[in-house]
């Protein structure tokens, strides 16, 4: 199968959906001729023109406000927020408007809005450009939340997000953009709410999101040499969440590590831990372990940044505490 980078796979999904449906358009800062801050939108403006690949002012409030209005009146906007940290600027449009409209209009209004945004650290972008804020949005009824970890998943999940009649938050890790993987050609859809078993194992279940799926697979390789078998589960979407796949793995292994790059305190891993405690406590042979960032702003210094962010060694340490 051909190999595409994560960013190329996202661009291919955008291209195919824009060809398929003339109501799909892109808007955001520098998404046009510049090709996006991380180069994801690339040359789409050449094919679709400035009307459908729209550069906007530097105003997240205006971007999301415009996108919500366009969505509720029949378009399918894909809004890019250059860094997820800047979602703080447009929280009212997302949390109080986009997430509530379908409910408040008794289902007569739909909001087919996709918000793409890079998350995470690892590039010395400092405290205001390196956060992972996905847990905030999982707390809001009416929003769906997606975090793909591979190029193939990114393409299939973005296609599903664009076709969904509800607002979808689509979080893309910066370090994944250049990572290549097998990606099927043509259109395909990965349903939202369908987890993936990235590696089967028998001793410990590692539930990981986004870049931490890669870290978990690295940990699994290292621990396999020591005779410890990890099963790696990628939820892929946090809302809706595939509880069935997670609980089946917990029942199988009896031990659980949950890993995400977001700060451990009140991260989405706490929600997964609560679900396991409520529905699979009898299967657990050891306490649930969580791996995440330390409770500090992300430093600019590369050395300090790596100290704050979690890695494969943190997963290995957590697994060894359990076995």
Q: Which residues are catalytic?
A: 129
- The answer to whether the bond into 311 is cis (omega within 30° of 0) is no
Angle of helix 6-20 relative to helix 44-52, nearest 10 degrees, comes to 50
- What's the rounded Cα separation, in Å, for the pair 103 and 81? 25
Tokens read off for 50? 């400035």
H-type alpha helices, the chain: 6-20, 44-52, 60-72, 91, 101-104, 134-138, 151-163, 211-224, 243-253, 268-279, 302-308, 312-322
Tokens read off for 196? 């993936």
Burial of 182 per CB tally in 10 Å (0-12, 13-18, 19+) = exposed
Which residue, 38, 40, 32, is CA-closest to 56?
Answer: 32
- What's the rounded Cα separation, in Å, for the pair 3 and 98? 36
* CA R_g for the chain: 19
What share of residues in the chain are helix, strand, coil (percent, to 5)?
40, 20, 40
């Amino acid at each position: 199968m051909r190999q595409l980078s994560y960013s190329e796979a996202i661009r291919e999904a955008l291209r195919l959906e824009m060809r398929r449906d003339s109501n799909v358009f892109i808007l955001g800062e520098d998404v046009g001729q510049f090709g996006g801050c991380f180069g994801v939108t690339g040359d789409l403006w050449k094919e679709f023109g400035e009307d459908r690949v729209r550069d906007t002012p530097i105003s997240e409030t205006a971007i999301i406000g415009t996108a919500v209005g366009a969505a509720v009146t029949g378009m399918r906007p894909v809004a890019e927020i250059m860094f997820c940290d800047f979602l703080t600027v447009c929280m009212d449009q997302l949390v109080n408007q986009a997430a509530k409209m379908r409910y408040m209009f008794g289902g007569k209004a739909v909001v087919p809005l996709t918000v793409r945004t890079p998350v995470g650290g690892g590039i010395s972008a400092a405290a205001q450009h390196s956060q992972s804020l996905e847990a905030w949005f999982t707390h809001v009824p009416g929003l769906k939340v997606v975090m793909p970890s591979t190029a193939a998943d990114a393409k299939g999940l973005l296609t599903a997000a664009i076709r969904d009649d509800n607002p979808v938050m689509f979080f893309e890790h910066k370090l994944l953009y250049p990572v290549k993987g097998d990606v099927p050609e043509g259109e395909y859809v990965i349903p939202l709410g369908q987890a993936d078993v990235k590696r089967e194992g028998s001793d410990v279940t590692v539930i990981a999101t986004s870049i931490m799926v890669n870290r978990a697979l690295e940990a699994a390789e290292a621990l396999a040499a020591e005779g410890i078998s990890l099963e790696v589960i990628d939820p892929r979407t946090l809302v809706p969440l595939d509880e069935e796949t997670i609980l089946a793995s917990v029942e199988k292994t009896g031990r659980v590590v949950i890993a995400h790059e977001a700060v451990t305190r009140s991260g989405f891993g706490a929600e997964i831990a609560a679900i396991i405690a409520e529905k699979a406590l009898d299967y657990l042979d050891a306490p649930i372990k969580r791996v995440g960032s330390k409770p500090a702003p992300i430093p600019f210094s590369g050395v300090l940044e790596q100290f704050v962010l979690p890695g494969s060694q943190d997963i290995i340490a957590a697994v060894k505490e359990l076995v």
